[in-house]
Amino acid sequence: MKKRIVSLLLAMVFTISTFSSTVFAAEHADINYSEIEYEHVDPAEFYKVTDLVITQAADKNNYSSVESLISKLVDFWYRVNTQYTLAVILQSKDASDATYNEEYLYSFNLDTEILHSLADTLEIILESPCAGTVYDVLDESELTYILQQVDAGADDVELSSLMSAEKEFINQYYKTANKEYTAVVNGEAMTLDGIKNAKLPEDIYKDAIREIHKNKNSALGEVYINLVKTRAKIARLCGYESYTDYCYENTYFRDFTSEDVTALSTLVKEYIAPINKKLNEIITNIDFSSLNELDYSPETLISREKGVIEKEFPELLESFNYMYDHGFYDIGADDNKADTGFTSLLLDYNVPFMFNKPYGDFNDVWILVHETGHYNRFFISRDILPMLELSEIDSQGLELLFYDFYDDMIGDDKCTDLLKIKLLKSWIRSIIDGCMHDEFQQIIYHHPDMTLSQMNQLYYNLCLEYGYTPTSGYSDAELGESYAWTETIHNFTDPLYYISYAVSMIPAWELWMQAQTDFEEAKERYLQLVNREQADTYMQTLSDLGFGNTFDEATIKELAHSLGEVVDGIELKKVEKPVFSDIANHWARDSIEALADEGIARGTGDKKFEPDKSATLGMYVLMLGKAVDAEVVGLKLENSVEDLTTNYSLYIVWADANNLLTESGDASPSSTITREELAVMLYKYVEQTGRDITVTESEKFADSNQIDVWAKDAVSFVEESKLMYGNENNCFNPQQIATRAEVSSVIYRLDKLLC
Ligand SMILES: [Zn+2]
Residue 28 shares a structural domain with residue 175: no
Closest by CA to 250, choosing from 6, 493, 492, 502, is 6
pLDDT exceeds 50 at position 4: no
CA of 699 to the centre of ligand 1 (A): 68
Give the whole-number percent of the chain exceeding pLDDT 70.
Answer: 94
CA of 694 to the centre of ligand 1 (A): 60
Least confidently predicted of 134-138, 208-212, 570-574, 740-744: 570-574
What is the model's pLDDT at position 424?
95
Residue 110 shares a structural domain with residue 198: no
pLDDT exceeds 90 at position 143: no
Give the pLDDT confidence of 364-413 residue by residue, as tens digits. Answer: 999 999 999 999 999 998 877 788 899 999 999 999 999 999 999 998 77
Least confidently predicted of 255-259, 317-321, 705-709: 705-709
CA of 340 to the centre of ligand 1 (A): 12
Where would I find the H helices in 96-139?
A: 98-126, 132-137
Residue 70 — φ and ψ, nearest 5°? -65, -45
Residue 603 lies in a domain: yes
CA of 347 to the centre of ligand 1 (A): 19
pLDDT exceeds 90 at position 301: yes
CA of 193 to the centre of ligand 1 (A): 32
Class of residue 74 by CB neighbours under 10 A (exposed 0-12, middle 13-18, buried 19+): buried
CA of 19 to the centre of ligand 1 (A): 29
Q: Would you say 329 and 355 are in contact if contact means Cβ atoms under 8 Å apart? A: yes
- pTM for this prediction: 0.73
What does the DSSP 8-state code read for residue 296? -
CA of 395 to the centre of ligand 1 (A): 6
Residue 664 shares a structural domain with residue 693: yes
Q: Residues 535, 537, 538, 541: is their CA dihedral positive or negative?
A: negative
CA of 255 to the centre of ligand 1 (A): 20
Residue 316 lies in a domain: no
Closest by CA to 369, choosing from 403, 337, 344, 346, is 403
Q: Which helix (H) or strand (E) element contains residue 343?
A: strand 341-346
Least confidently predicted of 4-18, 477-491, 718-732, 741-755: 4-18
Closest by CA to 365, choosing from 300, 314, 435, is 300
Closest by CA to 425, choosing from 282, 306, 263, is 282
Query: In the structure, what pLDDT confidence band is assigned to residue 78 with cuts at 50, 70 and 90?
Result: very high
Residue 74 shares a structural domain with residue 201: no
Least confidently predicted of 1-15, 43-57, 86-100, 711-725: 1-15
Residue 192 lies in a domain: yes
CA of 681 to the centre of ligand 1 (A): 54
What does the DSSP 8-state code read for residue 158? H
CA of 392 to the centre of ligand 1 (A): 5
Distance CA 525, CA 214 (A): 48
CA of 92 to the centre of ligand 1 (A): 17
Closest by CA to 464, choosing from 475, 449, 450, is 475
| Domain-terminating residue out of 99, 133, 155 | 155
CA of 501 to the centre of ligand 1 (A): 8
CA of 378 to the centre of ligand 1 (A): 12
Nearest 5°: CA angle at 212, between 422 and 337? 50
Residue 25 lies in a domain: yes
Direct distance between the N- and C-terminal alpha carbons of the chain, in angstroms, rounded to an integer: 72
Residue 493 lies in a domain: no
CA of 305 to the centre of ligand 1 (A): 18
Residue 102 lies in a domain: yes
- Mean pLDDT, residues 212-224 taken together: 97
What is the model's pLDDT at position 155?
61
CA of 493 to the centre of ligand 1 (A): 17
- Coil, strand or helix: which one is 11? helix
Residue 295 lies in a domain: no
CA distances from 554 to 264, 271, 544 (A): 11, 11, 18
Q: Would you say 308 and 405 are in contact if contact means Cβ atoms under 8 Å apart? A: yes
What does the DSSP 8-state code read for residue 293? G
Query: In the structure, what pLDDT confidence band is assigned to residue 1 with cuts at 50, 70 and 90?
Result: very low
Average confidence score pLDDT of the chain: 89
CA of 670 to the centre of ligand 1 (A): 53
CA of 391 to the centre of ligand 1 (A): 7
Strand partners, 183: 190
CA of 610 to the centre of ligand 1 (A): 49
CA of 88 to the centre of ligand 1 (A): 17
CA of 388 to the centre of ligand 1 (A): 9
What range does the domain containing 93 cover?
A: 2-155
pLDDT exceeds 60 at position 91: yes
CA of 370 to the centre of ligand 1 (A): 6
CA of 342 to the centre of ligand 1 (A): 7
Least confidently predicted of 69-73, 554-558, 571-575: 571-575
CA of 68 to the centre of ligand 1 (A): 37
Residue 169 shares a structural domain with residue 151: no
CA of 157 to the centre of ligand 1 (A): 36
What does the DSSP 8-state code read for residue 352? E
What is the model's pLDDT at position 366?
95
610: left (phi over 0), alpha (psi -120 to 50) or beta: left
CA distances from 414 to 15, 231, 408, 637, 748 (A): 53, 51, 11, 21, 16
CA of 260 to the centre of ligand 1 (A): 23
What is the model's pLDDT at position 151?
56
Please give the tally of structural domains in the chain. Answer: 3
Distance CA 231, CA 247 (A): 9
More confident residue, 642 or 675: 675
CA of 373 to the centre of ligand 1 (A): 8
Residue 30 shares a structural domain with residue 87: yes
Residue 568 — φ and ψ, nearest 5°? -60, -40
Q: Would you say 104 and 91 are in contact if contact means Cβ atoms under 8 Å apart? A: yes
Residue 205 — φ and ψ, nearest 5°? -60, -50
Q: Would you say 388 and 497 are in contact if contact means Cβ atoms under 8 Å apart? A: yes
Q: Would you say 352 and 344 are in contact if contact means Cβ atoms under 8 Å apart? A: yes
113: left (phi over 0), alpha (psi -120 to 50) or beta: alpha
CA of 396 to the centre of ligand 1 (A): 7
CA of 374 to the centre of ligand 1 (A): 7
pLDDT exceeds 70 at position 16: no
CA of 281 to the centre of ligand 1 (A): 28
CA of 343 to the centre of ligand 1 (A): 8
CA of 21 to the centre of ligand 1 (A): 28
What is the model's pLDDT at position 688?
86
What is the model's pLDDT at position 471?
86
Residue 686 shares a structural domain with residue 708: yes
What does the DSSP 8-state code read for residue 707? S
CA of 427 to the centre of ligand 1 (A): 12
Distance CA 546, CA 544 (A): 5
Q: Residues 723, 728, 729, 735: is their CA dihedral positive or negative?
A: negative
Give the pLDDT confidence of 490-545 residue by residue, as tens digits. Answer: 899 999 999 999 999 999 999 999 999 999 999 999 999 999 988 889 999 999 99
CA of 45 to the centre of ligand 1 (A): 36
Query: In the structure, what pLDDT confidence band is assigned to residue 449 with cuts at 50, 70 and 90?
Result: very high
Distance CA 148, CA 75 (A): 18
Number of C-alpha atoms within 13 angstroms, CB side, residue 326?
Answer: 20
| Domain-terminating residue out of 140, 155, 170 | 155
Distance CA 177, CA 487 (A): 8
Residue 144 shares a structural domain with residue 179: no
CA of 341 to the centre of ligand 1 (A): 9
Residue 739 lies in a domain: yes
CA of 121 to the centre of ligand 1 (A): 33
Residue 748 shares a structural domain with residue 627: yes
What is the model's pLDDT at position 639?
67
Distance CA 244, CA 240 (A): 9
Radius of gyration of the chain (CA): 32
CA of 498 to the centre of ligand 1 (A): 11
Residue 201 shares a structural domain with residue 228: yes
How many Cβ atoms sit within 10 Å of the Cβ of residue 165? 17
| Domain-terminating residue out of 208, 239, 270 | 239
Residue 116 shares a structural domain with residue 179: no
Residue 122 shares a structural domain with residue 203: no
What is the model's pLDDT at position 228?
98
Distance CA 589, CA 578 (A): 13
